[in-house]
Structures are given as structure tokens and as C-alpha cells.
Structure 1
């Protein structure tokens, strides 16, 4: 599938809150590591459109993903990349891939204008939680690291209820939580 709607709820955590959830819920003992490589134009045209573009390395595979606003969450458009195609992207020679390129063209963004800005590495633990996916992330980027709880749900209503219940049960303060790419760019601009 080249596209999907993602409905997710996020909350930044303290190290203590992260450890408490890790010990209280049956998350895997060992995390899976994934790295996101982020792209943008010099004029930040993706940001202006509420969009984000990344290549994610996970389990030895590379996926190019464009995230765009959607009334029910985020519209994600994916293309698989080979190792060689990924190297080209990271070295300033973006490779046209059907699905993402079509979406970029619809936003009037020239693929040749995309620049590699850097990466964010996450140690991720996933847990099936009812009919949702509960995720504990420890992310490292630039001079920063942070902890995050994420819930991916089938509906906005279900997701909101579940995340609120988890935060209440484990006495975790609800925090405004920008997504990873926003946190990455905020950290980069602060340097």
C-alpha cells in the first residue's frame, strides 16, 4: 500500500515516566533501532504545507515517506528505496519515486530543491494495546535526547480516550508534543 491514514497521539515523557511505563507494561525488553533522515527545501516549503519528508531505516530496509495533513490524522505516502537510492538521497541526488513524487508535484515542490538536513535515531518498543499500538520511544538528535509515548489508533475518539486513560493511570502530565521532525528542526535551529 502506497498510502495510509495515521491517527496518532503523542506525549513527551520524563526519564522517570518512561522507566515507569517500561516496567509497568509488557513492552519488549530490547528496543528496535530506527533512523529517520529528514529533508526540506531551503524555503521550508514542506513545512509551509504542513508536510514532512523522511527516509526511515528500519530492519535493514529504507522507506521514503511524505506526511501531509488529513482531516482524520496524517496522510502518509510511501515508496521503498534501495540502498543505492538512499545513498543518492543522502548525497543530494534525490531519486524520483512514483508515489511520493506525485504528492510533491501536487504541492508544487521540485524534488531537485530538497536538501538533506540530518537524522534522528530512535530506540523503539512497540506493544499491541487493545486494538491500538502503544509505542515507547527514546530519540537522539543533535545535542538532544527525549522520551515519548505514542499511541496509534483506529479512530480519533478511541485514541484520545486511550491516551488520556494511560496518562491518568500512570500519573503522567499531558504535554503538548510536536512530532519528531518538528523537534528535530527546532533543535537544529537552536544550535
Structure 2
């Protein structure tokens, strides 16, 4: 099964902090990548109540269906590849069964028929390898919101926390409680209704 444990650290940034991190680390040498997340949920917010989230991500003309679930070490991510046609069907609320995510949804008691497309979030992203981690700068747009975020993905919690703290200290950025993108998306969606 296509699964992985994601260990990541996040911190929302001001535009000035974003610019400072961009200048202090070798982000100038990499191009922006654009990715769009398309989010899905049931009317009764079953996935959210379980701490889970379901999205399709379009990145580099590749479409990936991903279910994220809580895990003791971080987040368990389950993936299935989609064709562009299948992704379009999902966005039109005509969900296509996929083996890996389908199995996990079934275990959670969530039916494809209960899911609906909620909306999308687009991110301009830069990624660099740094001290055996992946360091990411994101600029995201959704509804009438815009935000800037620093993310770090690591192989272990200890390593990730250490490197992330060093970066925040070096850039004089306070650590902020930061919701993941889907939670920020939900909040913006509720505020727009």
C-alpha cells in the first residue's frame, strides 16, 4: 500500500519573516512550484471529527488522492494516483473508487457517496534540502485569504524539532501555533459563508 508517516513542523510567517527566511537560506537558487489542493469532506464533517483530511493535489501535472490520518509519530498519509479525468470526476462530486484510500476510508466508516468537493487552495512553494530535512517556504491563496508559512519535514521528531527551532531562532521568528492548510481552509470557508 502507498503509505508514509509524515513528520513535519509548521510556522505561519509575516511577509517580512517570509522574505527574511528566503534571503538567509538558499531559496533563491530554486524555482517556485505551484500546487493546488482540492479538499473533500462529508456533510457531517466525519473526517474532520476523526482528525483526518482528504485531498487531491495537482503538482507538476500529476494528480494524487491523499488521506491524512493521525498517527503517534505524525500523520499517516495514504496515496493513490489519479488520471486528470478521474480528478475531474472527483471535483464534480462523482467519486471514483481507488484501492488504497478506499480501504482506509472504509476502515474509518466513511463512504464515497457521503463525500463532496469543498473548494481549493493554491500554493506557490519553494523547497530545499537542509541538514537532512526538507525545508519549505509556502505562499498560499484560498477564498480571500493569503498566508505565508515555513514547513520542515524530517525523518524523526527529535531531528525535526531541533533543526526547526534553530531556523526560527536564527531568523528571530516566534514559534506560533499553526494549523495545517486544510484547517486554515475550513476556517476561511466558514468565514466566507
Band the TM-score falls in, shorter-chain normalisation: over 0.9
Q: Do residues 70 (structure 1) and 67 (structure 2) align?
A: no
Q: Name the Cα RMSD after superposition.
A: 0.8
Query: Which portions of structure 1, spanning 4 or more consecutive aligned residues, are displaced by more than 2 angstroms?
Result: none
Unaligned runs of 5+ in 2: none
Q: 2:14 — aligned with what? A: 14
Deviation, structure 1 residue 165: 0.8
Distance 1:82 1:104, change over 3 A: same
Q: Do residues 94 (structure 1) and 95 (structure 2) align?
A: yes
Q: Do residues 80 (structure 1) and 81 (structure 2) align?
A: yes
Per the normalisation by structure 1, the TM-score is 0.98
Deviation, structure 1 residue 29: 4.7
Q: 1:5 — aligned with what? A: 5
Unaligned runs of 5+ in 1: none
In the TM superposition, what whole-angstrom CA distance separates every residue of 1:41-77 from its partner, at most 9, and x where no partner exists? 0000000110000000000010000000000000000
Aligned-partner Cα distance in 1 for 2:175–2:133: 19
Q: Do residues 31 (structure 1) and 32 (structure 2) align?
A: yes
Aligned-partner Cα distance in 1 for 2:9–2:21: 16
Deviation, structure 1 residue 130: 1.2
Per the normalisation by structure 2, the TM-score is 0.97
Q: 2:187 — aligned with what? A: 186
Aligned-partner Cα distance in 2 for 1:156–1:97: 31
Q: How does 1:1-191 map to 2 (within 5 A)?
A: 2-27=2-27, 28-191=29-192
In the TM superposition, what whole-angstrom CA distance separates every residue of 1:21-41 from its partner, at most 9, and x where no partner exists? 111110145310000000000
SS class of match (1:134): strand
Aligned-partner Cα distance in 1 for 2:30–2:173: 22
Aligned-partner Cα distance in 1 for 2:169–2:72: 27
CA contact (8 A) 2:30 2:127 kept: no
